[in-house]
Amino acid sequence: MNENLTIAAMTAALADPAGAPSHPLIFLILGVVTFALHIAAVSVLLGSTGLALVARFKGTDHWLRLGATMSFTAKAAVGAAIVLGVAPLLFVQVVFDPFWYASSMLSAVWTLVFLLLLVIGYLALYRVDALLHRGSETGRGAAFWLAGALVLFIACGALMHVFSNQALFPGQWLAWYAPDGRVDASGRGLHYVLVPRLLFFLSLSLPVTAAWLYGLRRYVLSKQFMTNDDALYSDFLESTAFAMGRAGGLLTLFFGVVWMAMLPAEQAWFIGSAWPWIGLIAALFFLAMPYIQKRRRLCTTCSYMAFVMSVVMTVLLATVREALRVGTLMDSAGFSPFELAVNWDVPSVAIFFVTFLLVGGTSLAYIFMSAWKAGLATNGKPGAVWTPSAGIERAGSWAALLLSLWIAGYFAVGLAVVLNS
């Protein structure tokens, strides 16, 4: 009890006096939703890189076609994972600042290594593209870079896992920072890994990417000029998605159960709560998804719904993960996000939502609509020309206008602050 009081006093002393700019619940919810989107993008990134790698070894026409699409998807997914990683990073810092900060300081060197690994992995995907476009690619070069990228991305996930989990053990920080009483301020340590938890999040890449493949299959079937080979290719996509989804569902359930069985003492309270059962709903969905898709293979919306539902399930899992953190920190550090000091700052909250929904929303809508329509109209043939409709042109003009206004506003506010200070 005394130890808990000391930890509570320590984390209270570390907390940012600025507090939260509006009710902490808003940031908790935003943190959960954006983390779910992050982990969905990470799953597609890992799954598509893995599939592109397997394709190099399989070498059949359909595998090579899928491999080319997947190496392109992987690049886009890295971008999405980064953007959707920054968002929960902001919210975690608002709500759990002392914990996240302490964990990052303990492994400061690794937070920089993380960036390096991510950049090298990302560049490796571009190298794959260059090799594939050269045409003389025999498979080994691209396979080497794809395998390298996959290992680096998994290492990034492992580092994120360590940063996130070290934050849950304030009672251990002193021992990690000053082992045997000797201060180690190097930031070179990595102090806590819970392997089944890490594997659980990594294994999500199988069912989530399988859901993505079901969508891809339906997309191929919706093309304007479908060839005989497209029909065969769509069957190939279906059977690949089924195999991947079935194995992925089993692995996710398995790692989820092992994770719960190996929870550390500080998190033992969780197993007696209702939360693991809520997480089980998501795992069971992933297990059932390939069979549901098999029964509804002719239903257009069902194919796309597989991915939408997968994202909904990641939101469910992210909620359970957040409950584990909040409950554990309440229990072991006497910390409650709901007791954070609130200093209402309406303009900053308004700017966030306007940027996120209006500026980000229109730009993303324009990019997605263009990619979708262009892909369907040109059959994805390199060099084919697509003419956008008037509606898409208008959406593009709005996206550019709002972004320009935002940039002008950004500099105007900055200048006003500087000139008035």
Where along the sequence are the contacts to ligand HEM (CB under 6 A)? 35, 38, 42, 81-82, 85-86, 88-89, 92, 118, 153, 156-157, 160-161, 164-165, 197-198, 201, 321
Nearer to ligand HEM by C-beta: 118 or 359? 118
| Under 8 Å between Cβ of 129 and 141 | no
Of the pair 352, 398, the CB lying nearest ligand HEM is at 352
Q: Whole-angstrom Cα distance, residue 361 to residue 400?
A: 12
Q: How far is the CB of 358 from ligand HEM (least distance, A)?
A: 23
Q: At what angle do helices 24-58 and 61-95 cross, to 10 degrees?
A: 160
In angstroms, the CA 237 to CA 62 distance is 9
Supply the minimum distance, in Å, between the C-beta of residue 267 and ligand HEM. Answer: 12
Min separation Cβ 337 and ligand HEM, Å: 12
Q: Which is nearer to ligand HEM, 119 or 400 (CB)?
A: 119
Least Å distance between CB 162 and ligand HEM?
8
Q: Which is nearer to ligand HEM, 165 or 234 (CB)?
A: 165
**Closest CB to ligand HEM among residues 166, 240:** 166
Q: What is the nearest approach in angstroms of ligand HEM to the Cβ of residue 94?
A: 12
C-alpha–C-alpha distance, residues 138 and 290, integer Å: 33
**Which C-beta is closer to ligand HEM: that of 153 or that of 214?**
153
Count Cβ neighbours within 10 Å for each residue of 380-392 and write b for 16 or more, e otherwise: beeeeeeebeeeb
Q: How far is CA 348 from CA 40, 213, 325, 376, 401, in A?
A: 28, 39, 26, 40, 22
Nearest distance from residue 418's CB to ligand HEM, in Å? 28
Rounded (5°) CA angle 215-30-88: 80
Q: How far is the CB of 168 from ligand HEM (least distance, A)?
A: 9
Place of tokens 């003492």: 265
Is residue 345 a contact partner of residue 235, using CB atoms and an 8 Å limit? no
Tell the smallest beta-carbon distance from residue 18 to ligand HEM (Å).
Answer: 20
Would you say 99 and 329 are in contact if contact means Cβ atoms under 8 Å apart? Answer: yes
Among 208, 111, 105, 99, which residue's Cα sits nearest to residue 156? Answer: 111
- Minimal CB distance to ligand HEM: which residue? 85
Three-state secondary-structure class, residue 342: strand
In terms of CB distance, is 201 or 236 closer to ligand HEM?
201
What's the token pair of residue 179? 């082992």
> Is the Cβ of residue 267 or residue 303 nearer to ligand HEM in the bound state?
267
Q: What is the smallest separation between the CB atom of 315 and ligand HEM, expressed in angstroms?
A: 14
CA–CA distance, 184 with 189 (Å, rounded to integer): 9
Q: Measured between alpha carbons, how far apart are the two ends of the chain, in Å?
A: 47
Of the pair 89, 330, the CB lying nearest ligand HEM is at: 89
For residues 19 and 10, what is the distance between their CA atoms, to the nearest angstrom? 16
Nearest residue (CB) to ligand HEM, 46 versus 402 = 46
Do 366 and 39 contact (CB within 8 A), yes or no? no
Least separation in angstroms between residue 47's CB and ligand HEM is 11
Q: Which amino acid is at 70?
A: M
**In angstroms, what is the C-alpha Rg of the chain?**
23
